[in-house]
Amino acid sequence: MRVKVESIGGLTGEAVVVALYDTAELPDQEAASVRDAVESLTEALARGPAAEIGADLPGHRITVTGPGDAAPRVFEVRGAPAADLEAPLKILLGE
| Each residue's pLDDT tens digit, 10-22 | 777 788 999 999 9
Q: Is 87 exposed, middle or buried (0-12, 13-18, 19+ CB in 10 A)?
A: middle
Number of domains in the chain: 1
- Percentage helix, strand, coil, to 5, in the chain? 30, 30, 40
Average pLDDT, stretch 68-76?
A: 87
79 close to 59: Cβ distance less than 8 angstroms: yes
Residue 61: is its pLDDT beyond 80? yes
Beta carbons within 8 Å of 79's beta carbon, 6+ residues apart: 51, 52, 53, 54, 57, 58, 59
Domain residues for 12?
2-92
Question: pTM here?
Answer: 0.85
